[in-house]
Amino acid sequence: MTRCRASSPALAAASPEGSCENRPLGASPWTRSSPSTRSRPTPVSYPPFPLNLISGSQTITKTEAEMLDELGLLGQKDFYDLRGSAYDTADERFPDQGTEDGHNDAFRHAYWNARMVQEYGADWAARFGTAHQSLPGNSADREAMDLYNNEVGRQVAIANPDASPEELADLVEQAVPGGDTVVIDQGGELAYSNDVPPGGTGEADDPPTENPGAAPGSQPSGGSDTSGTGSSGYESGGS
């Protein structure tokens, strides 16, 4: 049984095989085995005193904190402005859908990672995006969704290195109804984003993953294996 990648221009360009790959649906990133040796990261409060008196603090991973430290204060401001723009752009393009588990969420993660590739490079974006999903307590399916959509966004940016932020947003927006991203369906399971209508998504209800940052062994529900939509052409290792 095979499933073809969606035909959105951004992602067809990213695939060396063109717009369709003969690969089993089960080979999609969220079915990869989590390394048994992977340990939970230790959360840290960031930024440290006394900067937290000015900006407040948040709980992030040690890896994220180290990478933000490398950016310096001005670089951190630019980083948070970029992240904030991903939220704003998601709300503009997928309004009134909530910010978790649905099409707005899928777009936001993909676009944020695409913009990080533009500003910091693909390796940096992958490291930060993966670390960002590694905090304990996240639902396994929600974590898998975010990791997958992060990688979709990075692939869009890699395939379109000369795109402006607005053009990247257009390309990522095409990927969502095109089925290249994933969401949570009404049954609380992963599904391709074109198999669930906007506003018709559910909420992840599975327990937290034991190996944060590594996509757990669950598959998307719904969709026909021969429909020509949905993306299973991404290698694991994204955020």
DSSP the chain: -B-PPP--HHHHHH-TT-S----BGGGSGGGSPPPTT--PPPEEEESPTTTHHHH--EEEEHHHHHHHHHHHHHHHHHHHHHHHHHHHHHHHHSTTS-SSSSHHHHHHHHHHHHHHHHHH-HHHHHHHHHHHTTSTT-BHHHHHHHHHHHHHHHHHHHH-TT--HHHHHHHHHHHTTTT-SEEE-TTSSEEETTSS-TT------SPBPSSTTS--S---BSS-TTSS-S-----S---
Does the pLDDT at position 18 exceed 70?
no
Average pLDDT of span 201-226: 55
pLDDT greater at residue 12 or residue 72: 72
**Residue 47 pLDDT greater than 70, yes or no:** yes
Q: Is the pTM of this model over 0.85?
A: no
Q: Is the pLDDT of residue 177 over 70?
A: yes
Question: What was the pLDDT predicted at 25?
Answer: 31
Q: What is the pLDDT of residue 48?
A: 80
pLDDT at 134: 83
Given this model, what pLDDT does residue 198 score? 87
Does residue 119 surpass a pLDDT of 80? yes
Residue 144's pLDDT band, with cuts at 50, 70 and 90, is: very high
Tell me what the mean pLDDT of segment 106-120 comes to: 97
